[in-house]
Amino acid sequence: MSAPATEAGRARISGRTLRTDRWWVPPLITTLGLATFVIYAGIRSFVRAAYYVPEYHYLTPFYSPCLSDSCVPGSSHFGTPFGELPGWIPLAFLSLPFLLGFRLTCYYYRKAYYRSVWFSPPACAVTEPHGRYTGETRLPLILQNAHRYFFYVAVLISVVNTYDAIVAFHGETGGFGFGLGNLVLLGNVIMLWAYTVSCHSCRHVVGGRLKHFSRHPVRYWMWTQVTRLNNRHMMLAWITLGTLVITDLYVMLVASDTIPDLRFVD
Ligand code: FES
């Protein structure tokens, strides 16, 4: 027998939910994970310390591209078109807002924080605290539609990160060098590409608006590959948060002489 409905279309039950399982665990874990990353990235982006290893040209992604006279010598892989920046402006001021926008408007992260932070709703069959539901039809959530534009910029930033990882194959006295830091930077860049390419907007760019896949075999093949990655988008979203923190942490520890870089070729 179906449950009687209120005027608002909701089931008439006395409690907030009839669920007896620990439905609140996944949203709680998501909140803790996102909060940890946001706090770490926020602090590291502003401290302006231990973000570059001059001997090996390791640059943390949180400071890339470094384009101002405030950057330590050698860390500006693309020159310094900007002068000194006041201390309250992150040195990666050009990329960070777009990366933040890219993640914030990501379809997976939306699902995650709509449930875990905004409680809209927190879980299946659990009522939400909000009286009305307007979805993404009005400000500010209508801005989520800008995701595809953030995707285009994120591709450019991934190219920049790739360049950073390539120039890091640098020996202490010049020439080719290779250490554990290179593996860390490279692993991070590969994961960033996997996350970026697995984006739903990327899937639409390569295979959207086609009426006949059979007439576009190359785009169909690309769409198939992107779809495979897209199936793992949530996993990649979390992995890249982890690889970003690990990469930054490693560069910070080496740059501050807390640990030496494990060198394979010097
Ligand atoms: Fe997640 Fe585009 S949908 S990055």
Q: Residue 144: inside a domain, yes or no?
A: yes
Nearest to 237 by CA among 178, 194, 184: 194
Domain count along the chain: 1
Q: Residue 17: inside a domain, yes or no?
A: no
Atom of ligand 1 minimally distant from the CA of 202: 2
Q: Which two tokens stand for residue 173?
A: 């006295």
Q: Residue 158: inside a domain, yes or no?
A: yes
Q: Residue 8: inside a domain, yes or no?
A: no
Q: Residue 74: inside a domain, yes or no?
A: yes
Nearest CA owner, ligand 1 atom 2: 199
> If you ran DSSP here, which 8-state letter would residue 214 be given?
G
Cα of 195 vs centre of ligand 1, distance in Å, is 8
Q: Residue 5: inside a domain, yes or no?
A: no
**Is the complex ipTM more than 0.85?**
yes
Check if 107 has its Cβ closer than 6 Å to any atom of ligand 1.
yes
Q: Residue 19: inside a domain, yes or no?
A: no
Atom of ligand 1 minimally distant from the CA of 154: 4
Which pLDDT score is estimated for 6?
47
Which pLDDT score is estimated for 134?
85
CA–CA separation, 156 and 193 (whole Å): 11
Which pLDDT score is estimated for 132?
83
- What DSSP element (H or E) covers 163? helix 147-167
Which residue segment(s) compose the domain that 60 sits in? 24-265
Q: In the chain, at which residue ranges do the beta strands (DSSP E only) sit?
A: 52-53, 58-59, 178-179, 263-265
Check if 223 has its Cβ closer than 6 Å to any atom of ligand 1.
no
Check if 150 has its Cβ closer than 6 Å to any atom of ligand 1.
no
* Tens digit of each residue's pLDDT (9 = 90 or more) over 126-157: 988 888 888 889 898 899 999 999 999 999 99
- Surface-to-core class of residue 12, CB atoms within 10 Å of its CB (0-12 exposed, 13-18 middle, 19+ buried): exposed
Nearest to 172 by CA among 46, 260, 259, 49: 260
Q: What is the pTM of this model?
A: 0.92
Nearest CA owner, ligand 1 atom 1: 106
Which pLDDT score is estimated for 128?
85
Atom of ligand 1 minimally distant from the CA of 102: 4
Which pLDDT score is estimated for 131?
82
- Over the chain (266 residues), what is each successive 10-residue block's mean pLDDT? 48 82 93 96 97 97 98 96 97 96 96 91 88 86 95 98 97 91 98 98 95 95 97 98 98 98 93
Check if 44 has its Cβ closer than 6 Å to any atom of ligand 1.
no
Cα dihedral across residues 220, 224, 225, 231: positive or negative: positive
Check if 201 has its Cβ closer than 6 Å to any atom of ligand 1.
yes
Our mutation pick for probing the ligand 1 site, out of 233, 234, 235, 238, counting the most ligand atoms within 8 A of Cβ, is 233
Atom of ligand 1 minimally distant from the CA of 109: 1
